[in-house]
Amino acid sequence: MVCDVSEKGSDSAIKQTSIYAERSLQFQSEISLDEMKLINSNNNIYSCIWIDHHIVVALDTSPSLVVFHEDHKTVLSMINCKSMPWSVSKTGPNDMVITFPRQRKISFAQLRHGNVHLVAHMTTNVPYKDVAMDTALNQYICLANTEGQIDVLNNDGSLLHTLDVSPEIKNCITSSHHIVVHVNFRILLLTDTIFNKITAINFHGKTLFEYQSNNP
């Protein structure tokens, strides 16, 4: 992945974060999901993660989570869901969090021997489409792009606070599909699939920098 850098601000910490992100966004590997023969023409892949030498894929039309090994092209397991799993995010070596916005539910799961095991659920007042974990504080950063907001929840699901963001960032949130937390730098990365852009904001809702990709 080659990105054009558009750095905003002159703060040295922002520059250091930009340098780190530029390095971390370099293309590392590629797998053609078409070769895995795990989807049909009616299915869309909303999210996938690389975890413990496996890849977990969230499918929409036939709501399910599919697992295959990184070195093989055969499906190891599939778990059917009652509602569409919008996103799946890694929260630990074998742990993940899955969002079901239509049910206003967040599920916690573990990958064991190539199988996804749902271990707990949490209902929410807002239909969150993506969730990332702040492992340092044991909190969850939740993206509700329809509402244009980012909430911080305790691990029991209670709302701590909603990020105070500018109208510009709110527009970015409404067009974003995924959110990533970088704990060490205390930044949030929002992905915009329409403009192939990544926007980084701090935990106070301030824009740090943006990356625009020439490739979809």
Q: From CA 103, how far away is CA 135, in angstroms rounded?
A: 25
- CB distance 178 to 130 below 8 Å: yes
Q: From CA 60, how far away is CA 44, in angstroms rounded?
A: 6
Amino acid at position 41, single letter: S
What pLDDT does 146 receive?
87
Superfamily of domain covering 1-25+125-216: TolB, C-terminal domain (2.120.10.30)
Q: From CA 209, how far away is CA 189, in angstroms rounded?
A: 10
User: Is residue 199 helix, strand or coil?
Assistant: strand
For residues 25, 106, 79 and 71, what is the CA-based torsion angle, rounded to 10 degrees? 20
- CB distance 75 to 68 below 8 Å: yes
What pLDDT does 181 receive?
81
H or E segment at 107? Answer: strand 105-112
- CB distance 32 to 59 below 8 Å: no
Q: What are φ and ψ of residue 47, in 5° steps?
A: -165, 155
Q: From CA 73, how far away is CA 34, in angstroms rounded?
A: 10
Instruction: Return the closest-CA partner of residue 70 out of 84, 85, 60, 57.
Output: 57
Q: Where are the domains of the chain?
A: 1-25+125-216, 37-123
Q: How far is CA 12 from CA 9, 16, 17, 200, in A?
A: 9, 6, 9, 15
What pLDDT does 25 receive?
46
CATH architecture classification, 37-123 = Beta Barrel (2.40)
What pLDDT does 13 receive?
44
Instruction: Return the closest-CA partner of residue 202 out of 11, 5, 2, 6.
Output: 11
What pLDDT does 154 receive?
93
Q: What is the pLDDT along the chain (216 residues), one digit of tens a residue?
A: 222 233 333 344 444 445 444 444 444 455 555 555 555 556 677 788 889 889 898 988 789 999 988 887 778 999 999 999 998 999 999 999 999 999 999 999 999 999 999 999 999 999 999 998 998 899 999 999 888 899 999 988 899 999 998 888 888 888 887 888 877 788 898 888 777 888 999 888 888 988 887 765
Q: What are φ and ψ of residue 122, in 5° steps?
A: -145, 125
Six-digit token string for 214: 């020439």
Bridge-based pairing of strands 139-144 and 149-153 is antiparallel
